[in-house]
């Protein structure tokens, strides 16, 4: 039967090639000849290059995934326990389109507060999303659909995928000042200018804490000023919170920016991710929430969010959500999680001190206080692409060319080597 079909196919192809005459498309060529190779992802491409490097001294401070002091990935104990409990789960049926209600409820408490009135009054429209990326994307699609004339203001710099997300959602992008290269801190004055000069009712994307890639966060006073100005201008604030708990070690503290905006009565949007703070990277677990005026509106908005998810993936994956709700729904496991998150954050903070000390010890003429001023997983070193290239070529140290160091990749075993290398390539600067 199979060989008969092949024979038929071959004779068919022969007769088909005779039919080509007059057709603008050759049967024997591909539909996709015109497809160009896409550029490699700037962040994920770094790890690829790292893996291919045979050097025994190589260091990966590229992608933002946590490593322990031995440079190994970590599965949290609370996660292992949760997985043990859910293995042998009764079924793997579809979640509702909006995902696991239990997971979403616990997740909202983290962002909005345990005793939030907004939660009590059911004013928050929220769905489980495919980690932070998925939450941002659904929001961007929602923004396009329901505020079709709006644009999104994105800080400079930002996580590179933010640009891809709003671009693919066909929402035009504008930028606002954020990072101040001279001080390696926040360009607060220019940021406020941009907020004031934007048309009333503009949409802004803000990093709630541990700004990626700079690690530069506004102070509490600065957040309050930003919030006030947003009120005056009637701007919409969308918070991308990918590092709650991971920044300072205290989830409540890391949510401060959001709480300030909520106190001021803003109706915000928020993307939350469990990739880093629960180490659930590959499970793709997150949440998108939008604060509404009342419960009725929240129901309507949630139904529309689900409409956007449905043609994308129907309903979100259950496994990661089960892990989250198992942990957060059990007081003991939740305590364990908080302890483990603090442990991760503390190790990072320790490495910041260590890196700075080591570079200063070598007598660097430059200031390195930004290493300890900045917060979260990343340090924006201030190194140029050329200096980064030298680090890679001469020292086998891998990071993104914007000079962003993932502190999670720094260990007591490699911090001296890293300091030496950084000093080498920057001392002449």
Partner 1 sequence: MEGADRRLSTLARHLTTGGVRNVHDNAAISCSPTSSTSSMVVVGDHSIFANILRAPEDPILGVTVAYNKDPSPVKLNLGVGAYRTEEGKPLVLNVVRRAEQLLVNDRSRVKEYLPIVGLADFNKLSAKLILGADSPAIKGNLVTTVQCLSGTGSLRVGRTIYIPNPTWGNHTKIFNLAGLTVKTYRYYDPVTRGLNIQGLLEDLGSAPSGAIVLLHACAHNPTGVDPTLEQWEQIRRLIRSKSLLPFFDSAYQGFASGSLDGDAQSVRMFVADGGECFIAQSYAKNMGLYGERVGALSIVCRTADVASRVESQLKLVIRPMYSSPPIHGASIVSAILKDRNLYNEWTLELKAMADRIITMRKQLFDALCARGTPGDWSHIIKQIGMFTFTGLSTKQVMFMTKEYHIYLTSDGRISMAGLSSRTVPHLADAIHAAVTTIV
What residues act catalytically?
A: 159, 240, 276
How do beta strands 378-380 and 404-406 pair? Answer: antiparallel
Q: Which stretch binds partner 1 (CB under 8 A): 52-60, 181-189, 248-256, 303-311?
A: 303-311
> Is residue 51 involved in binding partner 1 (CB under 8 A)?
no
If one asks whether residue 52 binds partner 1 (CB under 8 A), the answer comes out as no
Residue 215 Cβ, how far from partner 1 at the closest point, in Å?
20
- The answer to the question of residue 311 lying near partner 1 (CB under 8 A) is yes
Task: Give the DSSP H or E segment for 271.
Answer: strand 269-273
Please state the closest distance from residue 419 (CB atom) to partner 1, in A. 27
First to last CA, the chain: 73
Q: Tokens standing for 169?
A: 């959602």
Judged by CB under 8 A, which of 60, 158, 248, 315 binds partner 1? 315
The token pair at 199 is: 């048309």
Among 55, 57, 68, 75, which residue sits at the site for partner 1 (rule: CB under 8 A)?
A: 75
Q: For partner 1, which stretch binds (CB under 8 A), given 281-289, 363-371, 375-383, 403-411?
A: 281-289
As a whole number of angstroms, the distance between CA 217 and CA 306 comes to: 32
| Interface segment toward partner 1; rule CB under 8 A; list 68-76, 181-189, 328-336, 351-359 | 68-76
Q: For residue 174, list its beta bridge partners.
A: 153
Cβ–Cβ < 8 Å for 303, 165: no
Q: Are 289 and 124 in contact (CB under 8 A)?
A: yes
Instruction: Map 137-151 to HEC letters.
Output: HHHHHHHHHHCCCCC
Query: Minimum CB separation from partner 1 for residue 425, in Å?
Result: 29
Which residues lie below 8 Å from residue 388, measured CB to CB, with a gap of 6+?
399, 400, 401, 402, 403
Residue linked to tokens 């049926």 = 93
Q: Is 83 near partner 1 (CB under 8 A)?
A: yes
Binding residues for partner 1, how many (CB under 8 A)? 107
* Cα 156 from Cα 178, distance rounded (Å): 5
Of the candidate spans 87-95, 101-109, 110-118, 204-212, the one that interacts with partner 1 by CB under 8 A turns out to be 87-95
126 touching partner 1, by CB under 8 A: no
Q: Residue 10 or 429: which CB sits closer to partner 1? A: 10
Q: HSE, CB side, 13 Å, CA atoms: give it for residue 72.
A: 4
Q: Are strands 59-60 and 397-398 parallel, antiparallel or unpaired?
A: parallel
Q: Find the binder of partner 1 among 2, 18, 52, 428 (CB under 8 A).
A: 2
Stretch of residues binding partner 1 (CB under 8 A), selected from 77-85, 216-224, 384-392, 404-412:
77-85
C-alpha distances (whole Å) from 200 to each of 110, 151, 223 are 30, 12, 19
The contact pattern for partner 1, residues 148-187, with x = CB under 8 A and - = no contact, is xxx----------x--xx-xxx------------------
Q: How far is the CB of 181 from partner 1 (least distance, A)?
A: 27
Q: DSSP code of 283? A: G
If the CB atoms of residues 167 and 420 are measured against partner 1, the closer one turns out to be: 167
The residue assigned the tokens 């996580």 is: 159
Interface with partner 1, residue 293, by CB under 8 A? yes
The reply on whether position 232 binds partner 1 by CB under 8 A is yes
Q: Give all strands (DSSP E) within 104-195, no chain letters.
A: 124-129, 152-156, 173-177, 179-180, 185-186
Closer CB to partner 1, 29 or 393, in the complex: 29
β-pair type (236-241, 203-207):
parallel
**What string of DSSP letters covers 200-213?**
TT-EEEEE-SS-TT
231 binds partner 1, rule: CB under 8 A = yes
Query: Which residue of 14, 18, 21, 33 would you call a contact of partner 1, by CB under 8 A?
Result: 33
Query: How buried is residue 197: exposed, middle or buried, by Cβ count under 10 Å (0-12/13-18/19+)?
Result: exposed
Ranges within 377-416 binding partner 1 (CB under 8 A): none
- Closer residue to partner 1, CB minimum distance, 88 or 363: 88
Single residue of 137, 352, 370, 423 touching partner 1 by CB under 8 A: 137
70 binds partner 1 (CB under 8 A): no
For partner 1, the binding residue among 55, 197, 219, 307 (CB under 8 A) is: 307
Q: Does 90 sit near partner 1 (CB under 8 A)?
A: yes
Choice from 104, 119, 130, 341 touching partner 1 (CB under 8 A): 130
Q: How far is the CB of 292 from partner 1 (least distance, A)?
A: 6
- Joined together, the tokens standing for residue 329 give 């729904």
């Amino acid at each position: 039967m199979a060989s008969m079909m092949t024979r038929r196919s071959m004779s068919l192809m022969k007769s088909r090639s005779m039919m080509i005459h007059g057709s603008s498309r050759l049967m024997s060529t591909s539909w996709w000849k015109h497809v160009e190779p896409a550029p490699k992802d700037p962040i994920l491409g770094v790890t690829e290059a790292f893996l291919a490097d045979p050097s025994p001294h190589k260091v990966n401070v590229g992608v933002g995934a946590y490593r322990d002091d031995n440079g190994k990935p970590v599965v949290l104990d609370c996660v292992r326990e949760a997985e043990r409990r859910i293995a042998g789960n009764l079924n793997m049926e579809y979640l509702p389109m909006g995902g696991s209600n239990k997971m979403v409820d616990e997740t909202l408490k983290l962002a909005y507060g345990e005793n939030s009135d907004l939660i009590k009054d059911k004013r928050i429209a929220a769905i489980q999303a495919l980690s932070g990326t998925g939450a941002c994307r659904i929001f961007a699609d929602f923004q396009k659909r329901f505020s079709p004339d709006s644009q999104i203001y994105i800080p400079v710099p930002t996580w590179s995928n933010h640009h891809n997300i709003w671009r693919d959602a066909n929402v035009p992008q504008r930028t606002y000042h954020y990072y101040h290269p001279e001080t390696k801190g926040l360009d607060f004055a220019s940021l406020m200018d941009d907020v004031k000069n934007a048309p009333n009712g503009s949409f802004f994307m803000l990093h709630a804490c541990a700004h990626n890639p700079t690690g530069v966060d506004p102070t509490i006073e600065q957040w309050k000023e930003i919030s006030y100005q947003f009120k005056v201008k009637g701007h919409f604030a969308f918070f991308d919170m990918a590092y709650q708990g991971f920044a300072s070690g205290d989830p409540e503290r890391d949510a401060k920016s959001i709480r300030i905006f909520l106190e001021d009565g803003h109706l915000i949007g928020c993307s939350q991710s469990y990739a880093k703070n629960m180490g659930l990277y590959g499970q793709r677990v997150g949440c998108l929430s939008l604060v509404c005026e009342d419960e009725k509106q929240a129901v309507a908005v949630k139904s529309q969010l689900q409409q956007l998810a449905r043609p994308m993936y129907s309903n979100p994956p259950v496994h990661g959500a089960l892990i989250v709700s198992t942990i957060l729904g059990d007081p003991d496991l939740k305590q364990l999680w908080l302890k483990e998150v603090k442990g991760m954050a503390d190790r990072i903070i320790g490495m910041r001190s260590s890196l700075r000390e080591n570079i200063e010890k070598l007598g660097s003429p430059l200031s390195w206080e930004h290493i300890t001023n900045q917060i979260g997983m990343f340090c924006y070193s201030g190194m140029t692409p050329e200096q980064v290239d030298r680090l890679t070529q001469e020292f086998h140290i891998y990071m993104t060319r914007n000079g962003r160091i993932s502190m999670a990749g720094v260990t007591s075993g490699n911090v001296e080597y890293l300091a030496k290398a950084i000093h080498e390539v920057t001392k002449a600067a």
